[in-house]
Structure formats: C-alpha cells, structure tokens
Amino acid sequence: MLNSFNQCNLPPWVIASRHFNENPQPLEIQGVRLANRFLFDRLATLETPHQRAEIFNDYMSVKFQLHQWQDQKTDGARKALKNSYLRFLRGWMMDSNSIEGAVLKGWVESRMGLAPTFHKAPIVSQHSDQYLAYAFDRTKGSMRTSAINSQLDLLYEYCQYELALRYPGETCMTLYRGTFDQDEYELLEKVSKREELVRLNNLSSFTTMEERAWEFGFIVWEVRVPLCKIFFYSDLLPNSILKGEDECMVVGGDYLVKRIMCSV
C-alpha cells in the first residue's frame, strides 16, 4: 500500500518498486541534512565510527533535550524525554509488532510513503480493522516521547552517512532474512525455482550473516538490498546495547528474493 505523498526526494511508487531496488538512487528526507548541517560538518572532521557515534549521541541529546528528562516537573514530561529513539529501537528488536514497532513503521509510512502490510496481522487495506489497530499503536507510542519522528529522521540520515563511508562506491549489499511462513508475504511473481518477487513489510529485519538467519526460520532468503533503504544497522552506535546483533532494519517494497538451501 502506498500513500500519495511523502517527505522524500522520490515518490512512494518509485521507492517501493523492484526497478528501484535493482537500480537504487540516493534517498533523502527533505530538509534534514540542511537543518542539521553543523552535525554533518562536525562528523566530516572525525576519523573513526566510534568518535562519530559519540558526537551523534551528544548532538541528539542536546537537540532534543534527552539528557534533561530528570529535571522535568511531571511524570509525563520525564517519560517523553526519557523515551528516546533508543527506546524504540530496543522495542523493535524485542518485537517488531510492539507499540515501538508501530511507531517505526509509522515513520516509514510518513517519510517514504509506504504503509505497512503487517502489524500483528496482515493489513490488506488502510480502511481495515487491522490498519486501525496499527494506527492506534502508532499514536499511542508517539505520545510517549518528544519529536520521535524528527529523531528518527536524523537517525536515518546519520545511518546513510556512515554507510557511505563504510561501503564507498557501493549501492547495495547482500542481506538475509529467515522466516517460518513465506505465505505471510504477498507473492508477486514466481521468477524461477528458487527466486520470487515478494512484497515485504514497510520495515523488516534482516541480518548480515546467513548463519544467523537460520535462527529465525527454516526458510532463508538472500536479498540484494539498496544501502539507501537501510534505516539502521546494529553496529551503527558502538556503545549501545543494540551492538552485535548483526541486524539491519530495511525499508520495504517489492524485492527479488532467492531461497537459500540448507547445507545440513
């Protein structure tokens, strides 16, 4: 499902398409880098990912007053600052169908124009009860913190900045996804015996390690994913508890997937 508007430099139907995934172009959330040019100018002077991650965390803390949560007068105000973008990343990694997961899917929907196809249950229409349940979770989660979508905007742009440094000249990388039931995905085309074109949820978890993918299902897909559609990867913030999970959070759309045969 696509919305008629987004906040990207390309329209939703382009971002979601197989052609884009096989011929990616840079994506940019409108105005984010320009409004935060001081941060990216500062990052350009630093040599290591660790140094850049520290500056990013400090910048987020100051810009969104995340470090001042204990100084607030009400419990709601304290929670609104304490529940930063890190809280939502942790919630996603525990359960992508959580309230935090709904907020992250909502960010993709509002910024990229791609509505979710699954949240606790398949979502076949934006007029369905399942979409309303997702929207309720998204709204409830967004009320828990201050300017969460703006925080996620900066997180995405920072992720893109780091990926460009880590993979200079590259546009895609190979990732893996394990699943127990491929019927939960919309099959668009049977390309070959082991290749299919499927529609993935607007935000999905992948791993960089094929071996790790088998922990999440007896069906494992190999997918070429555009770097510009990686919203977050677990090594982006070296000192966070999210490090070391080999996980990438990927913006969805129509992907060509190749089923990996188990070698055991």
Q: What is the pLDDT of residue 43?
A: 98
pLDDT tens digit string along 224-256? 999 999 999 999 987 665 565 689 999 999 999
CB 119 within 8 A of CB 133: yes
Residue labelled with tokens 């959070």: 249
The domain locations on the chain are 12-166, 172-260
Paired residues of 197 in beta bridges:
189, 256
Reply yes or no on whether the pLDDT at 82 is more than 60: no
Interatomic CA distance for residues 158 and 231, integer angstroms: 9
Q: What is the pLDDT of residue 253?
A: 96
Other C-beta atoms lying within 10 Å of the C-beta of residue 116: 25
More confident residue, 183 or 50: 50
Interatomic CA distance for residues 161 and 49, integer angstroms: 11
Residue range 98-110: mean pLDDT, rounded:
97
DSSP string, 59-128: HHHHHTTGGGGGG-SSHHHHHHHHS-HHHHHHHHHH-TTSHHHHHHHHHHHHHH-B--SBSSSB---TTS
Torsional sign, CA 134, 137, 140, 144:
negative
What is the band of 74 on the pLDDT scale with cuts at 50, 70, 90? very low
Other C-beta atoms lying within 10 Å of the C-beta of residue 117: 21
pLDDT tens digit string along 175-193? 999 998 777 789 999 999 9
CB 181 within 8 A of CB 192: no
Other C-beta atoms lying within 10 Å of the C-beta of residue 62: 11
Nearest C-alpha neighbor of 185 from the set 255, 137, 127:
255
Global pTM? 0.91
Q: Where are the alpha helices (DSSP H) in 146-191?
A: 148-166
